[in-house]
Amino acid sequence: MELTGAQILMKVLKDEGVDTIFGYPGGVLLDIYDELAKTDIRHILVRHEQGAAHAADGYARAGGRVGVCLVTSGPGATNTVTGIASAYCDSIPIVVITGQVPTHLIGNDAFQEVDIVGITRPCTKHNFLVKSTEDLGRVIKEAFFIARSGRPGPVLVDIPKNVGNKKIAFEMPGEVKLRSYNPTYNPNMRQLQKVAELVQKAERPMIFAGGGVILSDGAKELTEFARKNQIPVTTSLMGLGAFPGSDPLWLGMIGMHGTYRANMCTGKCDLMIAVGVRFDDRVTGKTDSFAPQAKIVHIDIDPTSIKKNVPVSIPVVGDCRITLGHLNTLTDQIDPNDLQQKRKSWLDQIVEWKSTRPLDYEQDKNGPVKPQYVVEKLYELTKGEAIITTEVGQNQMWAAQYYHFERPNRFITSGGLGCMGFGLPAAIGAQVACPDELVVDIAGDGSIQMNIQEMATAVQYGLPVKVVILNNGYLGMVRQWQELFYGKRYSSTCMDCAPDFVKLAEAYGAVGLRAEKPSEVVAVLKEGLFSSKTVIMDFRVAKEECVYPMVPAGAPLTEMLLV
């Protein structure tokens, strides 16, 4: 059977189960877009290529499948780089397909030519320049295999125009086998036996879970392990939802804006079981003082992540879900009564920390709207069942602190890269993946403007995404640092000329709502959340509210600013 490269691409994408592509067409993609129109693969036309990458990211996280975006050469390709880097930092499986000038023009400074393979090499799990149509089907298969296997991540495939329009005899490639790429899924059982022995002996253990638990679909195994062994659990920002937020063993998030009890546990524990985490600087604070009394067990599918940032006592390379399953079996024989007696004082101490230093704020009914109040009421109205995306900054931290997640894949945020402009396109991707779910982007007035053009995408496709803007008139997190560490010199952080978000929503054909008083918050949330349309809700919040607790950069986790 003879097919063009564009036809081969569509055939292989269908074989990989792709039902949605987020993209933006251009000259070198005309053959591919012509074939795409003949298929039943849904194409979502974004308004900026960065939006395509973030939407594919949100689709992958919410739907549990590889996200796909398709963009043209030159500026189309370079506009995806921020989205690719965000997916790379958070280990999200997306395949980015870029158009390229014909092979005979590569290196000749042709119109809209750019070396996107070279540019993205540091921020992709792997990338390909397809030099012949004969290689195209195999490369696409390999791209999906690499993106979803092992530690997931973004893969870029660059397709020159002549590769897309040449016709060849085609046969669907078979199973992908890469000799140099064999992720380790099954852990070393001798190492796990050592872990089980430490669990039995520990008097002050804690679990630190990260995004790797969610990516491996290991939340059920993690919850079973924690409850059976009576071990309190904290997570990184990316791990929120891996353990139920209502469970008595839940400590809250760890790190720079983590809870008092989670950070204090880190300073006092004698065993830390870290699962699917990177130990990044926002989590560890001063590394010399991180978990100083603890033996650290580090479980991760990526061996390069282990021992990279903190020393560990027992390294375990393996898939988080599989490894936790084995640990559950190995600890079956531990006497639960023995554990309860051994850990009673530890668990009592945690209860005391929680009661004396809870997450707290005061909402004066006659004062300005507190952003924490908005998030708290959003949680109450949605009963914790919404898919929450965020932008980056204070809005992101308040969402993490005051919206409680009971299950995985409900919190979608740019964790590692901290990319402003992420939340709205990610919400669009999540809504496409989960059309029957309520999807809410918690945003700041600064970061929402970075990809506000994607409102047109949401409206065009009838996606009922809700945007909750915590509008304080500042680049809030940067302003907070300037307040605390730079003598309140607010250099270039005041948003003096913000748009009227209600009118802006209406201009896009969406619904715009506003609350300026505490008494208006619930009514606006109810009207917005229960609308069948795309909605922007503009909450005018206290201008100089800060996110607390806060660990200053370079300080130990136990040295928190609490007010």
pLDDT per residue of the chain (563 residues) written in tens, 0 to 9: 899 999 999 999 999 999 999 999 999 999 999 999 999 999 999 999 999 999 999 999 999 999 999 999 999 999 999 999 999 999 999 999 999 999 999 999 999 999 999 999 999 999 999 999 999 999 999 999 999 999 999 999 999 999 999 999 999 999 999 999 999 999 999 999 999 999 999 999 999 999 999 999 999 999 999 999 999 999 999 999 999 999 999 999 999 999 999 999 999 999 999 999 999 999 999 999 999 999 999 999 999 999 999 999 999 999 999 999 999 999 998 887 888 889 999 999 999 999 999 999 999 999 999 999 999 999 999 999 999 999 999 999 999 999 999 999 999 999 999 999 999 999 999 999 999 999 999 999 999 999 999 999 999 999 999 999 999 999 999 999 999 999 999 999 999 888 999 999 999 999 999 999 999 999 999 999 999 999 999 999 999 999 999 999 989 999 999 98
Nearest to 253 by CA among 235, 279, 269, 265: 235
Given 16, 35, 49, 391, the catalytic residue: 49
Q: Going by DSSP bridges, is the β-strand pair 126-129/155-160 parallel, antiparallel, or unpaired?
A: parallel
- Residue 356 CB neighbour total at 10 angstroms: 9
pLDDT value, residue 279: 96
Q: What is the pLDDT of residue 480?
A: 97
- Entry pTM: 0.97
Strands of 387-390's sheet, edge to edge? 411-412, 387-390, 439-444, 466-471, 535-540, 511-515
Q: Do domains 189-356 and 371-540 have the same CATH topology?
A: yes
Host H or E run for residue 147: helix 133-148
Give one word for 217, left, alpha or beta, with left for phi > 0 and alpha for psi -120 to 50. left
Q: What is the per-residue pLDDT for 341?
A: 86
Give the CATH fold of the 189-356 domain: Rossmann fold (3.40.50)
Please tell me which residue in 477, 537, 550, 560 is annotated as part of the active site.
Answer: 477
Q: What is the pLDDT of residue 499?
A: 95
Q: Residue 340's pLDDT is what?
A: 82
Strands (E) across 186-243 are located at 205-209, 233-235
pLDDT at position 108: 95
Let me know: does 156 contact 98? Beta carbons within 8 Å. Answer: yes
Residue 113 and residue 101: Cα distance in Å, rounded? 6
Q: In 10 A of CB 178, how many CB atoms?
A: 11
Active site residue: 14, 38, 111, 197, which one?
A: 111
Closest CA to 50 of 83, 22, 78: 83
Pairing between strand 535-540 and 466-471?
parallel
Catalytic residue among 112, 191, 349, 453: 112
* Of 484, 397, 475, the residue nearest 442 (C-alpha): 397
Specify the CATH number for 2-169; select among 3.30.70.980, 3.40.50.261, 3.40.50.300, 3.40.50.970.
3.40.50.970
**Are 441 and 468 contacting, i.e. CB atoms less than 8 angstroms apart?**
yes
| Active-site option among 141, 161, 354, 377 | 161
Q: CATH homologous superfamily of domain 371-540?
A: Thiamin diphosphate (ThDP)-binding fold, Pyr/PP domains (3.40.50.970)
pLDDT at residue 530, rounded to an integer: 96
Q: What pLDDT sits at residue 4? A: 98
φ, ψ for residue 276, nearest 5 deg: 65, 40
Q: Are 67 and 23 in contact (CB under 8 A)?
A: no
Predicted pLDDT of residue 468: 98
Q: Is 394 a catalytic residue?
A: no
H/E segment holding residue 314: strand 314-317
Check residue 420 and give its pLDDT. 98
Q: Where are the domains of the chain?
A: 2-169, 189-356, 371-540
482 tagged catalytic: no
Rounded distance, CA 409 to CA 65, Å? 12
370 is catalytic: no
